[in-house]
A and B are shown apart, each in its own frame.
Chain A
């Protein structure tokens, strides 16, 4: 796979004194669905706007398919940008919105055919004569997508593509978007603040914070083996525990238990991540706490989430989150509040954070 389809090289950008991006480097492959995930102010949208040509970077280069596009105007770039607000033209109907970018270079007949094809692809054929204000949010999203795709871009940039949709529509559209992307094999780079969205859409994703890329990897890798504390907390629910070396083992003051790690650790003190679904929860009658990787605690809070139950378990002064899958009716999903339980985990589930 061509790993250098889109190369972002040493990109920095400041607005006045405010450093928005610092030395960003990314390589994105052809036909990849790439996510930029970060909270607001992380610089993700600025990076996307630099790719779109709406902002000029202070330093660095953007190379798309072998061509340096850093100094090209938006209208000279072989890519398209889908705006968060969709930015559909209110004075044109759906047909003319779709045809907007191809009117120049095509004959009337070709325009007609192209618009029909793209409308069919996105199943919006019945909307072609509508005005933009008569469309629902989901329909507007499709028109905005179609308006870009009709240009057959090498790269499609999407700014919070699903943020304006309601929850149910969002998960449906998520699926459609990935299917569409795999079918068209166009490289997608999108920005989101929603970690679930980033995980479900991306082939690979980058976590951004304060203008830096903290990590860049597949969603699985980032969820299971985050390197930084920030990423661990940002993606999913995280139990962060501080441990230090005591005798031969690692010990946590907060939990007052010993940890057994499955690999050597040079540092004498570190933070570890324990994902809530990796923790097994059992009735205290069944078992005794073992020496390592388990504790007994009291259920402080529980929330039934359908397929899962989330427990907040108190041990010493710390609260540990546990997600317990509700296998069947006589499973243990109905631990009541206040019940003493035993929690345990495999030593492989303990992830050591680098900072």
Chain B
């Protein structure tokens, strides 16, 4: 009996974790997002007032405020586009790599997997900073280009959206490769040979056999990259320029610079809903689809 209880507790402990560190903070954010802002500490009013009996003191002003200003919506759209492009680039680079790793012999496979994971052992900040050093005007890349005579003056490689995309792809690539590898690892290579045997060349085999059978891995890897990139703050901040504003940056400013906690909370909460709802719907549809297709 005691053991049963322990088992139950053990099995459900991830849910406790989720409730404690996800749903409760989310509820708090929602609470702040509907409260009235004021100067003070904390910079918002309580939502339950007991001054003259019981009174609920909420407002949707914050939501109206952020949705009526293109500054916020635009930055969110920028982040979505950034995440889409980065995810696609990660997929483009990650898929052949993952496939190569999954189909190479066991010794090479282990070495390659370690190489994929190794960057995680150093600080994320340091790695992004290293790119700054590589890309800056008197950085390694420009020095090489100048010495080779390819360019006559240093290129402005840093502080634009391409640097941001590059930094994100570099940082998030393992998150794409690992789930893809996990899936492709189980891929029956005979299927590729069978397809070729039945007359399909390499390209057709890729689109008719390899790609459709890799969908679950592609979905897992893409979600793992896409979701965190939307809220990514540090990489655009360090490598990006001022020409383009991203969601993470706006959130930071709203919270720490403008001290508009209700506004920032409304922004955060809307972001989560806008991101999570489509993904939940997608997951439901997708699991139905894959059940039907038995992949």
Contact = CB atoms under 8 A, between A and B. Distances in A.
Contact of B193 (A77, A81, A100, A147): A81
Interface size class of B (residues with CB under 8 A): 20 to 34
Interface stretch (A34-42, A85-93, A240-248, A289-297): A85-93
A104 interface: yes
A230 interface: no
Contact of B197 (A52, A88, A132, A133): A52
A54 interface: yes
Interface string B186-209: 001011011111111100100011
Nearest to A131: B294
B197 A89 contact: no
B188 A100 contact: no
A82 to B, nearest CB: 9
A151 B198 contact: yes
Contacts of A91: 212-213, 293-295
Contacts of B195: 89, 100
Interface string A101-140: 1001000000000000000000000000001110000000
Contacts of A101: 198-200
A60 interface: no
Contacts of B200: 75, 100-101, 104
B39 to A, nearest CB: 61
B170 to A, nearest CB: 33
Contacts of A77: 197
Nearest to A85: B190
B273 to A, nearest CB: 34
A221 interface: no
B198 A100 contact: yes
Interface size class of A (residues with CB under 8 A): 20 to 34
A74 B190 CA distance: 13
A153 B200 CA distance: 15
Given A90-B213, A90-B295, A91-B293, A83 B194 contact: yes
B198 A147 contact: yes
**Residue in B197, B201, B209 whose Cβ sees the most chain A Cβ within 10 Å:** B197
B293 A87 contact: no
Given A90-B213, A91-B293, A91-B295, A83 B199 contact: no
A171 B190 CA distance: 26
A45 interface: no
A80 interface: yes
Interface in B189-237: 190-191, 193-201, 204, 208-209, 212-213
A167 B293 CA distance: 31
Interface string B164-200: 0000000000000000000000001011011111111
B175 to A, nearest CB: 25
A207 B55 CA distance: 93
A18 to B, nearest CB: 14
B190 to A, nearest CB: 4
Given A131-B294, A133-B294, A87 B190 contact: yes
A246 to B, nearest CB: 57
Given A91-B293, A104-B199, A133-B294, A83 B209 contact: no
30 contacts: A53-B196, A54-B193, A73-B196, A73-B201, A74-B197, A75-B196, A75-B199, A80-B197, A80-B198, A81-B193, A83-B193, A85-B188, A87-B188, A87-B191, A87-B193, A87-B194, A88-B194, A89-B195, A90-B213, A91-B213, A100-B198, A101-B198, A101-B199, A104-B200, A131-B294, A132-B294, A133-B294, A147-B198, A148-B197, A151-B198
Interface of A: 52-54, 73-75, 77, 80-81, 83, 85, 87-91, 100-101, 104, 131-133, 147-148, 151
Closest CB pairs A-B (n = 8)? A101-B198, A87-B190, A87-B194, A74-B196, A81-B197, A75-B196, A74-B197, A83-B190
Given A80-B198, A89-B194, A104-B204, 7 more contacts: A74-B197, A80-B197, A85-B188, A88-B194, A91-B294, A101-B198, A104-B199
